[in-house]
């Protein structure tokens, strides 16, 4: 058991190092620092490693449905369309932090971690986000094949189309490309609208809960203050009664 625990910790440390290394490598690619060919080779190598890791975990897991839900960002992190998808691998670090209770060990676990879990899973954000990204990625891939565009340009086109920005720098010219664009406009915009609505509803609900909690606290404080006033009034009345009895018992001169 101890060896298994040490092996698991070593595995998680390795995953953490590879994740941070992949994100750093993508940052260097965007900043155009270093040798581009070497950095792309590193990015592709890390992509292969994370893809194999994902497949192995998918095979050995006991509940694949739960695994697919909890590892949705891991799947996005191995999409080979663009190196920027490596940033989705950071979600793995969040789960490792929760797995080892690092926030609790550091004494910083609290309401915000519960709010994060509630926002990601209980509101359905993870499902809508995964479906939205899947639609965009699939549309970009098909657009790249039909329009003979690079994957990066196709992904840019899919994002601007799904978000209704539509700069017009990339447009479909073939019949299949226009069909793909039509499906993306209908499906992508619908799911992105639901995604936006989920975020706004969560923020509004949190604000409402905060206001309600503040009102309840104020009501509690007022009730406590009134109780103290009643107690003080009762004591004053008792003191007054004692004074009255004392005056009556005192003989007049």
Residue 84 phi/psi, 5-degree rounding, is: -60, -20
H/E element holding 209? helix 189-249
| Cα angle, residue 43 at apex, residues 38 and 46 outer, rounded to 5° | 125
Q: Please state, in angstroms and rounded to a whole number, the distance separating the CA atoms of residues 128 and 195.
A: 6
- What pLDDT is recorded for position 53? 93
Rounded to the nearest 10°, the torsion over CA 221, 222, 224, 230 is: 160
Two tokens at 102?
A: 């690092």
Residues 57, 84 contacting (CB under 8 angstroms): no
pLDDT reading at 2 higher than 60: no
The CATH classification of domain 122-230, taken from the options 1.10.10.10, 3.40.120.10, 1.10.287.70, 2.60.120.1440: 1.10.287.70
**pTM, full prediction:** 0.61
Residues 89, 77 contacting (CB under 8 angstroms): yes
Q: How confident is the model at residue 52 (pLDDT cuts 50, 70, 90)?
A: very high
Residue 196: HSE in the Cβ half-sphere, 13 Å Cα cutoff: 8
Residues 131, 191 contacting (CB under 8 angstroms): yes
- What pLDDT is recorded for position 45? 93
pLDDT reading at 3 higher than 70: no
pLDDT reading at 222 higher than 80: yes
Q: How confident is the model at residue 19 (pLDDT cuts 50, 70, 90)?
A: very high
Unique residue bearing structure tokens 């695994």 = 67
Q: Please state, in angstroms and rounded to a whole number, the distance separating the CA atoms of residues 179 and 157.
A: 14
pLDDT reading at 177 higher than 80: yes
Residues 46, 21 contacting (CB under 8 angstroms): yes
At 53-109, the pLDDT tens digits run 999 999 998 888 778 777 878 888 888 777 888 888 888 887 887 777 666 666 655
Two tokens at 221?
A: 């404080």
- What pLDDT is recorded for position 111? 59
Q: Please state, in angstroms and rounded to a whole number, the distance separating the CA atoms of residues 177 and 135.
A: 15
Two tokens at 127?
A: 């499902």
DSSP annotation string for 116-169: HHIIIIITSHHHHHHHHHHHHHHHHHHHHHHHT--HHHHHHHHHHHHTT---SS
Nearest Cα to Cα of residue 170 among 189, 152, 193: 152
pLDDT reading at 252 higher than 60: no
pLDDT reading at 204 higher than 90: no
């Amino acid at each position: 058991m101890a060896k298994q625990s040490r092996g698991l910790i070593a595995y998680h440390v390795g995953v953490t190092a590879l994740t941070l290394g992949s994100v750093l490598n993508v940052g260097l690619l965007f900043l155009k620092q270093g040798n581009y060919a070497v950095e792309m080779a590193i990015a592709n190598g890390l992509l292969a490693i994370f893809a194999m890791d994902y497949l192995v975990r998918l095979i050995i897991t006991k509940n694949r449905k739960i695994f697919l839900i909890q590892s949705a960002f891991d799947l996005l992190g191995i999409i080979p369309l663009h190196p920027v998808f490596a940033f989705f691998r950071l979600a793995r670090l969040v789960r490792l932090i929760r797995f080892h209770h690092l926030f609790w060990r550091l004494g910083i676990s609290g309401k915000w971690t519960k709010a994060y879990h509630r926002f990601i899973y209980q509101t359905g954000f993870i499902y809508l986000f995964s479906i939205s990204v899947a639609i965009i990625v699939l549309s970009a891939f098909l657009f790249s094949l039909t329009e003979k565009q690079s994957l990066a340009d196709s992904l840019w086109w899919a994002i601007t189309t799904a978000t209704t920005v539509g700069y017009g720098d990339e447009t479909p010219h073939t019949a299949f490309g226009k069909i793909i664009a039509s499906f993306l406009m209908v499906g992508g915009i619908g799911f992105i609208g639901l995604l936006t609505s989920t975020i706004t509803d969560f923020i509004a609900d949190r604000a409402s809960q905060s206001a309600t909690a503040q009102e309840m606290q104020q009501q509690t404080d007022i009730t406590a203050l009134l109780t103290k006033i009643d107690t003080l009034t009762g004591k004053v009345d008792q003191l007054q009664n004692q004074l009255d009895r004392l005056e009556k018992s005192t003989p007049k001169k």
